[in-house]
Amino acid sequence: MSENCIFCGIVAGDIPSTRVAETDRAIAFMDIAPATPGHLLVIPREHSTDLREAAPEDLIAATTLAQSLVGRVIERLDDATGANLLSCIGADAWQSVFHTHLHVIPRYPNDPMVLPWHPHAGDLDEIKATAAKLS
């Protein structure tokens, strides 16, 4: 547990949250600044800054819980036709709370959420060169 971490405070019950589901290793609660109606956060109970630090067992628990919530979102929320599962790692990637977490964001036809990424064809040579660095 990290002393100044808001999510650790939620895990401990010191900070109120609207919990939706929990396991022995992870909890899911409603985001208080939702991108769309039904936006959830899934976090491991153990503190880690992001998925690079998280114990594999915590990632498995959080991902499995998120998987079940994606199904609920699409089945139970009126008009939800899909969902985004998002993990932000670092401030430049929009991480604002430095405790590993997954966003489960319900998607609706014509909803207001717009990501700043607009897919377009990339340069194949650059793609291959980058792949070589990562292999």
CA-to-CA separations, 11 to 30, 32, 77, 127, 128, in angstroms, rounded: 13, 15, 26, 41, 43
Question: Which residues lie across from 104 on neighbouring strands?
Answer: 40, 85
CB 17 within 8 A of CB 30: yes
Q: Which residue is catalytic, options 47, 101, 103, 118?
A: 101
Q: How many CB atoms lie within 10 A of CB 72?
A: 18
CB 97 within 8 A of CB 89: no
Annotated catalytic residue 47 = no
Positions annotated as catalytic residues are 101
